[in-house]
Amino acid sequence: MGVRSSTGMCRETRIPYNRYRTRANYHWLDGTCFAHTRGIEEPMRFNQLHDWDVAPAVARTIQAALAGQVDLADAISFDAIETIAGVDNAYVKENGETMACAAAVALAFPSLEVIETTITWRPVTFPYVPGLLSFREGPAVLAACANLAVEPDVVLFDGQGYAHPRRLGLASHLGLLLDRPAIGCAKSRLVGQFEEPERVFGAHTPLTDRGEVVGAAVRTRPRHKPLFVSPGHKVSVDTAVAIALACCRNGAFLPEPTRLAHEMVTSERRARIDATERSAPGPVS
């Protein structure tokens, strides 16, 4: 068996694919691993609830409408989780155009062995507007998730979930579209107040905003600032914290799914910049 990437190439691993709920069957051909269902690849589906090419004012209206659909009840128990995914996004400027690179990494849970990875590039059409990050990142991230043959039980996002001014951060927004449990794991706080958790792994304190608990400040690294964990969709605050902590490894600040996704987009971004610089015409002598 092997780890499937967006290019189809695999490396050896001990993971037995039949442990996971997937729509795909895997076979080998000339050292390459392909995922097929009824002879063709079948991508992970998601709900198309709105257009992406909208003005910021319309995006805020969409956020307000979707926020009422966010469900913070646990749709899956911690012990029932078998697969988990992490996603992240990066940007590159090319010829005056911004390109988004999104990575999705599927892992076994709780072992966190990598099952599959995908990388997707998409042009960015939405401007940078604070509070509307999901409209900028969403199309590329959904495309990366759609390319996964494995259907993860839970998705971790490098961004906010419910801890958002309109209660619809990246994890909540895309969790609704993917219709599965989603968790926001943010490096910084966007809204709310909290007390510093103890400087021991696993310590956490409530993140509250306007009298409502919207997430938690979680100590994933004793001598580091806290990670801000918030439920995105179909998961409670307590379960979101438990899952995020269970995904931490080797003293890293970020949970392993989003850490690996971050490494992937960072590497892809650097490679794309290097390739562009190499192809640029030299100085005219």
- Chain segment 2-30, per-residue pLDDT in tens: 444 443 323 222 223 333 333 333 332 23
Look at residue 20 in the predicted model and tell me its pLDDT: 36
Q: How far apart are CA 82 and CA 152, in angstroms?
A: 8
Residue 195 belongs to some domain of the structure: yes
Residue 116 belongs to some domain of the structure: yes
- For 24-78, the pLDDT digits (tens) are 333 322 333 333 332 334 456 678 889 999 999 999 999 999 999 999 999 999 9
Residue 20 belongs to some domain of the structure: no
Residue 10 belongs to some domain of the structure: no
Q: How far apart are CA 6 and CA 2, in angstroms?
A: 13
* Structural domain harbouring 224: 62-279
Residue 34 belongs to some domain of the structure: no
In sequence order, which residues have a C-beta less than 8 Å from that of residue 85 and are 6 or more positions away? 104, 105, 106, 107, 145, 148, 150, 152, 154, 155, 156, 257
Q: Are 160 and 186 in contact (CB under 8 A)?
A: yes
Look at residue 29 in the predicted model and tell me its pLDDT: 29
Quote the number of domains for the chain: 1
Look at residue 282 in the predicted model and tell me its pLDDT: 62
Look at residue 47 in the predicted model and tell me its pLDDT: 83
pLDDT at 279 over 60: yes
Q: How far apart are CA 231 and CA 218, in angstroms?
A: 13
Residue 19 belongs to some domain of the structure: no
Look at residue 280 in the predicted model and tell me its pLDDT: 67
CATH at 162: 3.30.2170.10
- For 206-245, the pLDDT digits (tens) are 999 999 999 999 999 999 999 999 999 999 999 999 999 9
- For 91-135, the pLDDT digits (tens) are 999 888 999 999 999 999 999 999 999 999 999 999 999 999 999
- For 158-208, the pLDDT digits (tens) are 999 999 999 999 999 999 999 999 999 999 999 999 999 999 999 999 999
Residue 89 belongs to some domain of the structure: yes
Q: Are 63 and 126 in contact (CB under 8 A)?
A: no
Quick one: 38 exposed, middle or buried, by C-beta within 10 A (0-12, 13-18, 19+)? Answer: exposed
The secondary structure of the chain, three-state, reads: CECECCCCECCECCCCHHHCCECCEEEEECCEEEEEECCECCCCCCCCCCCCCCCHHHHHHHHHHHHCCCCCCCCCCHHHCCEEEEEEEEEEEECCEEEEEEEEEEEECCCCCEEEEEEEEEECCCCCCCCCHHHHHHHHHHHHHHCCCECCCEEEECCCCCCCCCCCCHHHHHHHHHCCCEEEEECCCCCCECCCCCCCCCCEEEEEECCEEEEEEECCCCCCCCEEEEEEECCCHHHHHHHHHHCCCCCCCCCHHHHHHHHHHHHHHHHHHHHHHHHCCCCCC
What pTM was estimated for this model as a whole?
A: 0.83
Residue 52 belongs to some domain of the structure: no
